[in-house]
Amino acid sequence: MAELDTSQKGGHKKGGKKRSKKASTRVDLTPMVDLAFLLVTFFMMTTTFSKPQTMEINMPVKPPPGSEQTSQDTKASQTLTLILGENDKVFWFKGTPDTANFSTTDYSPNGLRSLLIDVNKTTKDLTCIIKPTDKSNYRNMVDALDEMSIVGVKRYALVSDFAPEEKAKIKNL
């Protein structure tokens, strides 16, 4: 407990005035500390903490057995392929890997985002194929998916297999 002592100590002097003893003033701070802890507890219990944000991914549905499987092929002119490499590099090309010119960019707003904005404006029904390599990290894939939602690309796919032309051209860059 906290206490404030204001009592006068000392004796009487000869021939002096007698002073009356003052009662000591005592402030008990215990209830205030209890109230502070109750308020902290109340606000901690009633506050909603930030919830983790999730990204919705629609997985393809397998057709029932015995039915025809329809494939939805896209034109090469409507396809942009992003290959996620090591050291935060993104290799990209438009079209097919055997005839395309590969270029590199990064994950900065002036890199991948501006590329996606430009290609999305000029290409109707753009489809992005995202191919993470073994040396890319999970954060790069999430960044690429975030850029798809920021730019507004409606169709994109995660693919794990590489064409031999893609592997050869990545090694040269």
Task: Let me know if residue 63 belongs to a domain.
Answer: no
**What pLDDT, on the 0 to 100 scale, is given for residue 65?**
79
Q: How many domains does the chain have?
A: 1
Quick check: 7 pLDDT over 60? no
Q: CATH number, domain at 109?
A: 3.30.420.40
**What pLDDT, on the 0 to 100 scale, is given for residue 36?**
94
Angle at 106 between CA 101 and CA 109, to 5 degrees: 115
Task: Let me know if residue 89 belongs to a domain.
Answer: yes
- Domain holding 147, by residue range, is 76-172
Average pLDDT over residues 78-99: 85
| pLDDT tier, 25 (very low <50, low <70, confident <90, very high otherwise) | confident
Task: Let me know if residue 15 belongs to a domain.
Answer: no
Other CB atoms closer than 10 Å to residue 66's CB: what's the count? Answer: 5
Q: How far is CA 173 from CA 102, 129, 164, in A?
A: 8, 20, 15
Confidence (pTM): 0.60
Task: Let me know if residue 28 belongs to a domain.
Answer: no
